Structures are given as structure tokens and as C-alpha cells.
Chain A
Amino acid sequence: MSKKKKEKVNHLVGIYDDDEKLLHAVEVIRQRGIKIADVFTPFPIHGLEHALGYKDSRLPDVAFIFGTLGTITALAIQIGTYTIDWQVNVGGKSSLPLPSFIPVTFELTVLFAALGMVGTYLIANKIGPGVQPEVVDPRQTDDKFVVIVKAKDEAYNQKVKQAYNDTGAETVREQILTDTEEE
């Protein structure tokens, strides 16, 4: 991730009023060789990530790794304190009571997996306390579906606007927005 502040550049914005229209529009726009910078929707739309060609999220793998870390931590704490550091002889019972370790191990596995995954999720999505949002249109969290494309030369811009209009966009406009393109 680059540390330098992202520049603001001109974008072409197409606003749709229905999720199925948007899904169709995304497919058409990409077929015409236009690179979509981002899509904003008020709720998750099934199939949108495939239409945009996104790879599957790796967050489940993150959860698994953190969960494993939790399992190891739990066993290390329990064996470290109860078996190695200070054994307590209670009626000759084992100082390595593995069945008794199951509940705490399970709980810490779940705790680590959940917190680790959600932490990664916040970082990956670049959201968190104090983050100022750049809202393209305030209705994008209500009932509008917004597509943005980074503007280039005039001919390209016309092509994009044409694609928006062909797919039934309600509003087409230009707007200065932060450049999200990765170099």
C-alpha cells in the first residue's frame, strides 16, 4: 500500500435506481472494455462480485489462521500454568487434564478467529473509527446504485456516458473523486 495521499481526479458517475438494472449495466459496461473504478450499493447484491470479476474473499482463510492461533494460545496458557509452572495435586488427578482444557480452548479459538477476522475486515475495507467517508451520492446508502469510472480523454468519456445511458442510468454526471486505482 502506498503511503502517499491519493489524488483527486475527474470521474464519470452513473446512478441507477434498481439492483437488477445495475447488475446488467455492470456486465454491459465491462463488455465494452470500460474499467469500472467502483460500484456503491445500499445492500449486498448477489452476483455483483462475479459481474465485476472480483476474486473470492480470503477472509475465511484469515479466520482459520487466527482460530489456530487461538487454539495454540489457549493450550499454551493452560499447559504452561497448570501443568508446567505450578502443579496442584487435587486428589491425585492428572496435572494435564486435556478434557478439562476443551472448553477454554474452544472459546479462545472462536474469540481469536472472530476478532482477528473482523480486524482484518476493517483494515481491508479501510473502515474504522474516525475514517471520513467519501460519499459519491448520499442516496447510495438509501436506494440508488452508483457506478464510477475514471475519466480519460473526451472520446473515452463519451463512450462511458453512452454505456450509462444505454443501460438505463437515471443520472449521468462528472464528479471529482479520489483516485482509487492501484498502480
Chain B
Amino acid sequence: MYDSPLRQLLVTGNKSYAQVTEDICRPIHSKPSKEWLGAFLLSASILGIGGIGILNTLVNGIGAWGLNKTVGWAFDITNFVFWIGIGHAGTLISAILLLFRQKWRTGVNRAAEAMTIFAVLCAALFPGLHMGRPWLAYWIFPLPNYHGPLWVNFNSPLLWDVFAISTYFTVSLVFWYTGLIPDFATVRDRIKGKFAKSVYTALSFGWVGSAKNWQRFEAVSLILAGLSTPLVLSVHTIVSFDFATSVIPGWHTTIFPPYFVAGAIFSGFGMVLTLMIITRKVLNLEDYITIGHIEAMCKVLIATGMMVGIAYTTEFFIAWYSGSIYERYAFINRAFGPYWWAYWIMFSCNVFSPQVFWIRKLRRNPWFVFVISIFVNIGMWFERFVIIVTSLHRDYLVSSWRMYTPSITEWAIMIGVFGLFFTLFLLFTRFFPVVAIAEVKSIMKTSSDTYRKDAQVEIFHGTPAGVPAYRSPDSNLQ
């Protein structure tokens, strides 16, 4: 077999297969650390605050929010689109990068997919609450009924969204779980303790890893990746239709689908970086989620950050070029009206801040990347806020122009959903294999320093120019 000497090293630390298992399963076997317990209690308390906000909304209705006749969508839909966007990186990493044979995905795909599923759960909460009467939420499905029967409106993008998001959630969950089965079997075969063993036996579905099982596993993974790739692109496209098919200036633009998809990937990778930089440190997974992985994700951030930058600029240009006075006003108001600060936070966080990653040193510095990833999260939250609120708050009648101020209830729900997200993610890091064990083992022969002692490590590992390439201590120097 031909091996390129330039092939990137994705697993470092001279690991054997057994060590890979050991390293990744360690958090499951050991007692929770104080930091984990502290973080878990904090997230759970924040979730509790959200619970109070949700309870208040359910008891008192949407009146508990700061919405008014002019601004009918604000924090609810902003948060919905924000979380759906976050939920794009997982499937992108596991599906699109699988099709492109990008092996670096193996280190981060499991956690990114978990993040996707939790983010979509968080997102789904918002349209549910925003209905006002969530106990009638089943009305969004085309179910036979006693009102005619009156059916749902298949011309409405809001209905398409129902199908898109429920499909996306289901398929992502199935994809994630299919990959987890073999790894649960690994945990099952090594864990002590009767109860834990029976739980992991149930979770592993009786997997034994026969050759035939693996052959089918690979076929299923490939087809699921093929199905998920257009799916992930369709979801945010359809979310953007919620806006683009309306006739509100600022929303009614054909650029929305690609612009939203690029933004979703951008925000998703921002959140993956935020989570992975902490996770790799706390769980000692730096040999699997290497600086090279962080660098690769930073490159995705530059690319998608510039795509949204082009979208912002194009929108502005077209608003002027179209000659539509309403469209032009909506955009001038966006950048220089009463919400100018939101627009410029969005612009600087999303377009300017990732530009620092052109500098190699900076994109290989995890803590610096962490700070920028937080900026990306903030920027992308504001992008949705800007699109939604600034387009609505000054409508055609000057007499109905209003400002929007979120109520305490809305703040509580928004913060509480972050609590939900982190609670779920912390549980995941404690009880699930955070890195795809079987997938990492399958790339060891080509991409680990255990088997590739001859590889030019500097390509992925950053030895400064002029210094001889790193060689692991026990390699044979010829």
C-alpha cells in the first residue's frame, strides 16, 4: 500500500489499541471529578431557572414575554434558529467529512453529533412554547380530525420546518446511535459492576463485532452519510424559507438559503470548538483531539465566516440596487437605526474576529481559539436577533413602530436552555465514549505515530521550521 509521507498524524502519544480503549473509557470507569460535579450542578441550576420561565409562560401565556403587536417574533425564534444552527456541525462533520474521506473527523465526530442532538432538542423547545398552547402542538401534523377535516397548509414553510426538523432530529439520532453501538459493546466488555454492565449490555444491543456486522456497519454508515448530507443542507434552507417566503423587507431575499446554511456551519463549528477545547483538556484527550483538529476547524471558521460576510454585504448592496425604498430603509435601519449596536456586534464577531485565524500561531493556540469561538457564538446569536427584530420593529405604518424589550421570563428561558444543553452534554461526557473508539482504531495504521514513525510529523503537529521533525522516543532512527 502506498503511504504518503505527508499524511497527517491524527492520533499521537504512541498508543496501542488497548490504550485507545483505556483512554477513552476512563471517564466512564472513574468516579466523577469535583469539577464535573460542580459544572453539572451549575448547569442543572441554570436549567432550573429556565424551568421557572417555561412554567410562567405555560401558566400565563405568551403575554409573559416582551412581544408586542409589531414585534411578534423575537427571543423565541432567535433562540430557535440559533440552536438549530449549532446543531449543524455534528452532521456536517460526521456525514460530509465522511464522504470527503476527511479522517480527522474521527476524533471529534462523536461529541459533535451529541452536540447536534442536544442542540436540536433545545431548538425544538422554542417553536413549541411560542405556539402559546403547546398542548395542542400535535395540530402541526396532518392528522385526521373533526374539523372538516381541515388539513395543514402544505404551502407554508412553517409546516415544511416541522418535517425538516423532526426528520433531522430522528436521522441524526439514528446515525449517532448506530455509531455508538460498537463502542457501548467495548464499554460493556470491560466495565466492572453488575448494574453498570447490565446497562451497557442493554445499550450495546448485543453487538459482538463479527466481520459481517462490520461490513453492514460500513454500508449503513456510508448511506446514512449520503442521506444526511443533503438533509443537513435542507434543514437550514427550510428554516431560512420561514423568512424568505414572507414579504417583510429584510426577510424577503433569495440569498437566504445559502446564507443561512453557511451561518449554521459557522456557528456549529464555533460551538464545537468551545466544547471540544474544554473537553479535551478535562478528559485528557489531547492525543485524540489534537491541535491539528482545532486548526482544521479554525479553517472551516475562516471560510464560513467569510461566506456570511459576503452575504451581509450582498444583502446591503442588493437593498440599494433593487430600488425598493422599503428594502433600502430596512437595511439602513439595521445598521444605523436604534439597533445599530446589535448589527455591529454581529458584523465584528462573525466577519472580523475569525480573520485572526490566518495567522498559524493563533489558530494553533487552544485558549486563543476558545475566546474567538465564544465571539462566534455571540455573533451568530446576534445575527438571528438582527434579522428578526430589526426587520419587524419598524413596519409599513410609522404609527406602529415599536422597540422590543425582552421580559425576565424570556431571559430565564434563554439562559435556562443553555443550562439544558450543558447538562445534557456533561451527562454525555460522563457516561458515553466521547471519542468514537472503533473509528479511531480503524485509522491508527495510517494516521497514528505508533505505526507511522516515518511520517513527517510537522505537517499536522507544528514543529517550527528549521527544527528536525519530531520523532517519538522509541522509534528506530536509521
Contact = CB atoms under 8 A, between A and B. Distances in A.
Partners in one complex: yes
Given A101-B154, A103-B164, A125-B213, A141 B170 contact: no
A43 B65 CA distance: 51
Interface stretch (A5-13, A54-62, A161-169): A54-62
A125 B155 contact: no
A106 B232 CA distance: 12
B211 A49 contact: yes
A133 B185 contact: yes
B206 A126 contact: yes
Given A131-B205, A141-B209, A82 B185 contact: no
Interface in A116-140: 117-118, 121-122, 124-136, 138-140
A39 interface: yes
A39 B214 CA distance: 10
A133 B151 contact: no
Interface in A92-115: 93, 97, 100-101, 103-104, 106-108, 110-111, 113-115
Q: Kindly state the interface size class of chain B when it binds its partner.
A: 35 or more
Contacts of B151: 81-82, 85-86
A39 B210 contact: yes
A117 to B, nearest CB: 6
B438 A43 contact: yes
A103 B238 contact: yes
A131 B206 contact: yes
Contacts of A45: 211, 214, 442
A107 B155 contact: no
A63 interface: yes
Interface string A134-173: 1110111111000000000000000000000000000000
B224 to A, nearest CB: 6
A90 interface: yes
Interface in A70-87: 77-78, 81-82, 85-86
A135 B174 CA distance: 25
Contact of A111 (B149, B167, B211, B441): B167
B163 A42 contact: no
B21 A142 contact: yes
B87 interface: no
Interface in B227-279: 227-228, 230-231, 234, 238, 241
A101 B260 CA distance: 21
Interface residues of A, number: 63
Most A CB contacts (10 A, CB to CB) among B185, B205, B223 go to: B223
B204 A133 contact: yes
Nearest to A67: B227
A135 B207 CA distance: 9
A54 B170 contact: no
A68 to B, nearest CB: 13
Contact of B206 (A40, A49, A111, A132): A132
B333 to A, nearest CB: 30
A135 B204 CA distance: 12
Contact of B211 (A38, A110, A117): A38
B427 interface: no
B282 interface: no
Nearest to A57: B219
A142 B164 contact: no
Contacts of A122: 205
A43 to B, nearest CB: 4
Contacts of A81: 142, 149, 151-152, 154
A88 interface: yes
Given A106-B234, A111-B170, A40 B209 contact: yes
Contacts of A85: 149, 151
Contact of B214 (A48, A90, A131): A48
B362 interface: no
Contact of B189 (A57, A101, A117, A135): A135
A179 interface: no
B205 A127 contact: yes
B59 interface: no
B154 A128 contact: no
Contacts of A60: 219, 223
Contacts of A93: 155
Given A59-B219, A127-B205, A132-B201, A41 B171 contact: no
Contacts of A142: 17-18, 21, 186, 189-190
Query: Which 5 residue pairs spanning A and B have beta carbons closest together?
Result: A131-B206, A143-B17, A81-B151, A103-B160, A57-B219
Interface of A: 19-20, 38-45, 48-49, 52, 54, 57, 59-60, 63, 77-78, 81-82, 85-86, 88, 90, 93, 97, 100-101, 103-104, 106-108, 110-111, 113-115, 117-118, 121-122, 124-136, 138-143
15 contacts: A39-B210, A42-B17, A42-B209, A43-B182, A82-B154, A107-B167, A114-B175, A117-B220, A121-B216, A125-B213, A135-B189, A138-B189, A141-B188, A141-B190, A143-B21
Interface of B: 16-18, 21, 142, 148-155, 157, 159-160, 163-164, 167, 170-171, 174-175, 178, 181-182, 185-186, 188-190, 201-202, 204-220, 223-224, 227-228, 230-231, 234, 238, 241, 437-439, 441-442, 445
Given A114-B228, A117-B223, A125-B216, 9 more contacts: A20-B445, A40-B209, A43-B437, A59-B219, A88-B153, A104-B159, A133-B208, A138-B189, A143-B16
